[in-house]
Chain A
Amino acid sequence: MKTITLTPKKFSSIALEFDELIPDKVYDWNKEDFEKYEVPIGNSRFPLTDYFDIEIEGSAEGPEEVKMILDGDMGRVKYIGCKMSAGDILVNGDADLQVGAEMTGGSIKVNGNAESYAGREMKGGSLEIMGNVREYCGTSYIGEWRGMSDGIIKVHGNAGKQLADCMSGGEIYVDGGCDILAGIHMTKGYIEIGGDVTRWPAGQMKNGTVVIKGKLGRLLEGFEVEGIYKNPEIHGKQLTGKYIKYKGDIGVNGKGSLWLNAEKNRDLL
């Protein structure tokens, strides 16, 4: 087991990019390797040691034996854990854009908030964010119609706009509320939102499941009530209480399911 601890000592207002500092690439790096390394910042590179104190303990045969601790505010560090396939990353603070984007395995935990595009195009592994995430969490790349296909994202706070655009697999859990268009264009997969949702969940969904446990501000026209179920079992989980089940989005011949907590959404009954 190898533990790599990076402790911030200088803040850069221009974001640093960490996609080269994933367990897959650094599992066999020693201290000198890190000291030699120059990190991309804007259109240039600067020594990593200008920005971080680096500590390494133990050794690793492969990325799965690596634990990286980013011990402080990473609010201006982009691409943390991007494309990683194994190992663990712990962020003891906020994370900037694209944390966990395109990851295929391993785990990332952010003990703060995450900026937009967290878990973009995720294909495996787990991403847990203790605070809030901004827009496009678990979505596709801009323009791309193939989104997150596997893995788990857990957000303990709130999620922003367009959660899981074009999702085709995997699971997303948001404990808090969620802004517009969660699950838009989704074709498969499972999204569970604990809090309230502003508007238009699951627009143009073809298939998959969205569960909303809080109050929904506005439902799209393309969803038809299929029935009301008590303590339904969805995605292998027993939910408690009454749920309204919708099918949609009929605008695109969708066969997805949208479940709304009946108690919280009496106006729709």
Chain B
Amino acid sequence: MEYILKNGIVYDPTNKVNGDKKDVMIKDGKIVDEVSSDAKVIDVTDKLVMAAGVDVHSHIAGPKLCVGRLYRPEDERRGVKPKTATTRAETGFSIPSCPTTGYRYSRMGYGTVTEAAVPPLEAKHTHEEIMAIPNIDISPLTLFGNNWFVLQYVKEGNLDDLAAFVSSWLKITKGYGIKCVNPCGSEAWGWGMNVHGIDDPAPYWDVTGRQVMRALVQVNEMLGLPHSMHVHTNDLGHPGNYETTLKTMDCVKDIKKNPSVSRDQIMHCTHLQFHAYGGTSWRDANSGAEPIADYINKHDHITCDVGQVTLDETTTMTADAPMEYDLYKLSGLKWANKDIELETASGLIPCIYSGKAPVSTLQWAIGLELFLLIKDPWKVVLTTDSPNAGPFLRYPRIISWLMSSDRRTEMMENKEVHKWATKRTSLGTLDRVYDWNDIATVTRSAPAKILGFKERGHLGVGANADVAVYDLEPEKFDPTKAANAPVVEDVLSRALYTIKDGQIVVKDGKIAKVVPSRHLWSNVQGFEKQEKKVLNDIMPMFNKYYTIKFENYKVHDHYIEPSIEYKVNASK
């Protein structure tokens, strides 16, 4: 099938196309520069056209989601929609059902989403849920930061075996990259403890977060994985934690990037908003966004996503289990906890972010500060750490805040948010606004580059034909006006067209077609011998401590249909 999207206003930062009136041509699921006369013409004259969105960090599939759905039926009833001829019934707000997740991303014009935390033991479950999510390709990141084998190799300083272990475990879990959550903290949680800062060792192992993060970044570069090490740093959610975050970013800066990769960074710091707090307690807490933005502005080895608070009632879920317990102690709402044997832990708790509350407002403002203070939009990605700071379906609302400083001022002036926004942060003094090019960067081009996708997040020849068209004429529309913020939100919530691999999956804001999502995974070549040795070495410990047999641990091929394998040639 061939298509030609005619006369749209195209924003494609990767290819330096900035609002030009252009045709986008599609053939056999790819972007091309020529189509035959048989091509179907879709008239999108003057409409906003971008590559389909790419999400660098979201929680959409796996055991945490499942626990969330089970223990929050009251969330499931929010967002109920009956089935249609093409879609199944929709349920849920912060933890939608699997099909609903696919429909909602697809309607917003997204085509690729990263599932940010997969415990290897639960990888099968994650892939099963991915099979039930349609219309978006999904790159799962495998959790390594509190894994006993990893801690053992780090303790021994044995990076070669660690590299082989990671390479092997990405194959076993069918993971795309390395995720590290509160390194050593979630392991300490097994002892009812946490770690504080990057130099506080985990009990028994006597290994620190700094050591684990450095080792995983080094291994990531030894293997030459498409994405960098992806870290949720220590001390999430604690006032004063910005210092830990600065130390974290700085502790890897001397590590050399693998020359074969297309990304610039060696470490991606996720949901930075949760890690950018000043003060010593919630009484005197203030913003730590400035020093962090300043660090990122001056260094090129770090990228980040924001984890913007959306001021909603949502559900928090993370492998940072001790932090979830702290949250439970603060709010008293129902708490769920999970222990993942030798690998990690996790916790969940409902969370009500309210503009009336000082702390929620501070978090909201710090997120926006990061967006506005980090100068280069290629270094910062729009996320809500969905559903932790708010559900992903609020992305269009966040975009409306980024595009209009008048709207932000209005929110601060008419008390939609607490006065801490102006008293404890610099948000009131920031009048920067994002234009459509910046928006396309932080939602498409930058995340694709950061994740190492060459074929996604842009509209150059050879790219996947993943395209979003919105019912808005950027040349006639002023997104900086506060009164236009609801229009931005509405229009970006329901794409005129979402095209996935050359197929129209959304038309006029409605799901037109349901296609299976592909499982994106990294297959490292060249470490086979070491992988075999490492497996032999660890089998006694595996057999002794795991509750399941190794034969049942592995994600077999039929769990990842359909998939895209990213072959990585490790240059040792």
Q: Could you tell me which A residues sit within 8 Å of B by CB distance?
A: 140-145
If over half of A's interface residues share one DSSP class (helix, strand or loop), that class is named, otherwise mixed; here it is: loop
Interface range for B = under 10
Q: Could you tell me which B residues sit within 8 Å of A by CB distance?
A: 71-75, 77, 333-334
Instruction: Give the docked Cα–Cα distance between A145 and B74 (Å).
Output: 9
What are 14 pairs between A and B in contact, CB < 8 Å? A140-B74, A141-B73, A141-B74, A141-B77, A142-B73, A142-B74, A143-B71, A143-B72, A143-B73, A143-B74, A143-B75, A144-B74, A145-B333, A145-B334
Instruction: Give the docked Cα–Cα distance between A145 and B77 (Å).
Output: 14
Contacts of B74 in A (CB 8 A): 140-144
Question: Which of B71, B72, B74 has the most C-beta atoms of chain A within 10 angstroms of its own C-beta?
Answer: B74
Instruction: Give the docked Cα–Cα distance between A140 and B75 (Å).
Output: 13
Contacts of A143 in B (CB 8 A): 71-75
Instruction: Give the docked Cα–Cα distance between A142 and B77 (Å).
Output: 10
Contacts of A144 in B (CB 8 A): 74
Contacts of B75 in A (CB 8 A): 143
Closest chain A CB from B484 CB (angstroms): 33
Contacts of A140 in B (CB 8 A): 74
Closest chain A CB from B350 CB (angstroms): 8
Contacts of A145 in B (CB 8 A): 333-334
Given A141-B77, A142-B74, A145-B333, 11 other A-B contacts at CB below 8 A?
A140-B74, A141-B73, A141-B74, A142-B73, A143-B71, A143-B72, A143-B73, A143-B74, A143-B75, A144-B74, A145-B334
Instruction: Give the docked Cα–Cα distance between A97 and B301 (Å).
Output: 60
Closest chain A CB from B190 CB (angstroms): 27
Closest chain A CB from B273 CB (angstroms): 26
Instruction: Give the docked Cα–Cα distance between A214 and B188 (Å).
Output: 52
Closest 4 CB pairs of A and B: A144-B74, A143-B73, A143-B74, A142-B73
Instruction: Give the docked Cα–Cα distance between A141 and B333 (Å).
Output: 15
Query: Taking CB as reference atom, which chain B residue is nearest A40?
Result: B82
Closest chain A CB from B73 CB (angstroms): 4
Contacts of A141 in B (CB 8 A): 73-74, 77
Instruction: Give the docked Cα–Cα distance between A180 and B73 (Å).
Output: 23
Question: Which of A141, A142, A143, A145 has the most C-beta atoms of chain B within 10 angstroms of its own C-beta?
Answer: A143
Closest chain A CB from B65 CB (angstroms): 15
Instruction: Give the docked Cα–Cα distance between A144 and B74 (Å).
Output: 5
Contacts of B334 in A (CB 8 A): 145
Instruction: Give the docked Cα–Cα distance between A33 and B74 (Å).
Output: 33
Query: Taking CB as reference atom, which chain B residue is nearest A141?
Result: B74
Instruction: Give the docked Cα–Cα distance between A132 and B75 (Å).
Output: 30
Query: Taking CB as reference atom, which chain A residue is nearest B82?
Result: A43
Closest chain A CB from B81 CB (angstroms): 14
Closest chain B CB from A160 CB (angstroms): 20
Instruction: Give the docked Cα–Cα distance between A141 and B334 (Å).
Output: 15
Instruction: Give the docked Cα–Cα distance between A140 and B73 (Å).
Output: 12
Instruction: Give the docked Cα–Cα distance between A140 and B72 (Å).
Output: 13
Instruction: Give the docked Cα–Cα distance between A145 and B73 (Å).
Output: 11
Query: Taking CB as reference atom, which chain B residue is nearest A142?
Result: B73
Instruction: Give the docked Cα–Cα distance between A140 and B334 (Å).
Output: 14
Instruction: Give the docked Cα–Cα distance between A142 and B74 (Å).
Output: 6
Query: Taking CB as reference atom, which chain A residue is nearest B77?
Result: A141
Instruction: Give the docked Cα–Cα distance between A145 and B72 (Å).
Output: 10
Instruction: Give the docked Cα–Cα distance between A140 and B77 (Å).
Output: 13
